Structure 1
Amino acid sequence: MIRKSSIMFVYKDQFDEYKRRHDELWPKMEKELKAHGVHNYSIFLDKETGQLFAYLEVEDEERWGKMAETDICKQWWAYMEPLMETNPDNSPVSKELTNVFYLA
């Protein structure tokens, strides 16, 4: 497994809605994530800053990279766009983090 993490940003007045939408994750989105080799996906919120910390494990980088090309992913990004900082294609503004320590 490849461990990945990133930081994104949700608007402070949208915390509850962001959580609600993830609590009600579309079944098609869940299926597509799993089809692209995703496991143990978690998102954590810093309520003081609106910073989100995302952690996931993927089976293969290339397979994971193709997730962004799917229609369901693009629909999800459009659905989430009003709640968070996004790029022109509606993908979340995201900064990938570098792993510096791991204890198995």
Structure 2
Amino acid sequence: MLRNGSVIRVKPEKLDEYKNLHADAWPDVLNMIHTCNIRNYSIYYKDGYLFSYFEYIGEDYEQDMARMAQDPTTQEWWKLCEPCQEPLESRQAGEWWASMEEVFHTD
């Protein structure tokens, strides 16, 4: 299993919109997340930043993420969410949310 943490800024004027979107997340988007082997997915907010955490249980992360990115419903969802977000300058090439280094874990 792969644990994934990532971070992005949320535009202050868009925070309520972002929260409202996720309070009523589209069932087809949630199903695609599950189909692509993501579990235990959470998004947290603090001081202008969104932190996401999920666990990946599949065998081919890149393939599953490509499948999700190609899904038309997920693309429509992202079109609503992305204007609320402001990527970090320090993110890697090709990232929207910046990957975070895991420095500690215990079960």
3-state SS of paired residue (2:96): coil
Query: What TM-score, normalized to structure 1?
Result: 0.83
Unaligned stretches of 5+ residues in structure 2: 88-93
Matches within 5 A, 1:17-36: 17-36=17-36
AA matched with 2:16: D
Partner of 1:78: 79
Give the superposition deviation at 1:65: 1.8
For the aligned residues, what is the CA RMSD?
1.9
Query: What TM-score, normalized to structure 2?
Result: 0.81
Divergent runs of 4+, >6 A: none
Matches within 5 A, 1:65-104: 65-66=65-66, 67-85=68-86, 93-104=96-107
Matches within 5 A, 1:49-68: 50-60=48-58, 61-66=61-66, 67-68=68-69
Give the superposition deviation at 1:82: 2.5
